[in-house]
């Protein structure tokens, strides 16, 4: 069966295709009739679905994280496309290609090589030794290479964590050039470890939180990972350890964003603001890329940011193709 991707779906189109079941909730209509509220995805995006008939029966057919065969019709709810699902069943593993289901950063090996090269070229010998403690941990580096940046908001795809971290490292390096008072090694290493806890917080295959991630969170996990690696470097300086701990614990920037402490060093401040910039830019770029292709000028309402985004590409404007007359 030829895969029909979410990015290709058109309103009123009949669909029979495979998708990942990201969420399912059995709910009741105002007339107390059960229906299934679904979130479906593939490597091109995500779409909401509603299954109205025999909902309780179909609810038993598959679990969150399964690849499912969906039959239905593309509908429109308010401004967004949605699937009116007629049937859903768990797919045979041989019936679909996994690479069609989950988006993957293809050049992960090259990106990881650049990250490792950056770490090994740091001038501070203590940081180089600490970097080696991370690098030689093959399981952790494999998780880092294939991890996701977030469940949904930014870099929510395999390799997204590595991609995000590399971008933050590059930009904090540029900031250290502009702000020589910042310790370059601490800032870059802080960028490397700031989200390392996501290697255990998030299940990359299912784009879901692990039990450990849900109970403890990536900040606490990342702090633990750092302390484990510090213990592998004899006589590691206490002041340097504290500065690195502080970057992990403060990188969310605000108490309202679940940050245990506020950034109180120049290096932590640079990492926090860079992390925020890179993650927000990626998320909005993803929205623009998926929704502007449908001819929209404004995005759907983004609840997490309490706004819609103006997503009309600047390249579509006449002034990008001509200049003022002389």
Q: How confident is the model over 273-287, as pLDDT tens digits? A: 999 999 999 888 888
Domains of the chain: 6-100 (2.40.50.140), 103-284 (1.10.3210)
Count of residues in the chain:
326
Provide the pLDDT for residue 301.
Answer: 84
Q: What is the pLDDT of residues 216-247, one digit of tens each?
A: 999 999 999 999 999 999 999 999 999 999 99
Instruction: Give yes or no for residue 316 having a pLDDT over 80.
Output: no
Average pLDDT, the chain: 91
Q: Looking at per-residue confidence, does 15 or 46 come out higher?
A: 15
Query: Which range among 147-151, 298-302, 319-323 shows the weakest confidence by mean pLDDT?
Result: 319-323
Provide the pLDDT for residue 293.
Answer: 66
Provide the pLDDT for residue 64.
Answer: 84
Provide the pLDDT for residue 320.
Answer: 77
Q: Dig out the tokens for 20 from the structure.
A: 């990942």
Give the ranges where the chain is alpha helix by DSSP (H): 55-59, 98-101, 108-120, 125-135, 138-146, 160-178, 184-193, 198-201, 211-215, 218-230, 238-250, 266-291
Provide the pLDDT for residue 273.
Answer: 97
| Backbone φ and ψ of 88, nearest 5° | -145, 135
Instruction: Give yes or no for residue 326 having a pLDDT over 70.
Output: no
Provide the pLDDT for residue 304.
Answer: 80
pTM of the shown model: 0.81
CB 28 within 8 A of CB 21: no
């Amino acid at each position: 069966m030829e895969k029909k991707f979410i990015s290709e779906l058109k309103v009123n189109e009949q669909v029979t295709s495979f998708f990942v079941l990201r969420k399912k909730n059995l709910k009741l209509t105002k007339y107390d009739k059960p229906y299934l509220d679904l979130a479906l995805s593939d490597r091109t995006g995500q779409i909401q679905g509603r299954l109205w008939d025999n909902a309780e029966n179909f609810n038993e057919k598959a679990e969150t994280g399964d690849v499912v065969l969906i039959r239905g019709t593309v509908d429109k709810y308010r401004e967004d496309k949605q699937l009116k699902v007629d049937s859903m069943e768990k797919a045979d593993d041989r019936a679909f290609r996994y690479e069609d289901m989950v988006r993957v950063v293809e050049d992960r090996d090259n990106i990881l090589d650049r990250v490792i090269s950056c770490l090994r070229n740091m001038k501070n010998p203590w940081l180089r030794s600490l970097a080696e403690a991370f690098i030689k941990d093959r399981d952790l580096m494999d998780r880092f290479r294939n991890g996701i940046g977030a469940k949904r908001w930014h870099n929510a795809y395999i390799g997204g964590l590595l991609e995000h971290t590399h971008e933050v490292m590059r930009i904090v390096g540029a900031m250290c050039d502009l702000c020589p008072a910042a310790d370059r090694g601490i800032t870059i290493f802080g960028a490397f470890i700031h989200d390392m806890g996501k290697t255990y917080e998030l299940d990359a295959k299912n784009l879901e939180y692990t039990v450990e991630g849900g109970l403890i969170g990536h900040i606490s996990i990342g702090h633990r990972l750092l302390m484990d690696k510090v213990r592998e470097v004899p006589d590691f300086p206490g002041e340097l350890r504290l500065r690195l701990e502080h970057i992990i614990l403060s990188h969310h920037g605000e108490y309202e964003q679940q940050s245990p402490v506020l950034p109180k060093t120049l290096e932590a401040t640079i990492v926090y603001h860079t992390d925020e910039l890179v993650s927000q830019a990626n998320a909005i770029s993803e929205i623009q890329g998926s929704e502007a292709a449908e001819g929209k000028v404004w995005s759907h309402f983004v609840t997490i940011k309490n706004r819609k985004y103006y997503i009309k590409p600047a390249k579509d404007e006449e002034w990008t193709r001509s200049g003022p007359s002389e």
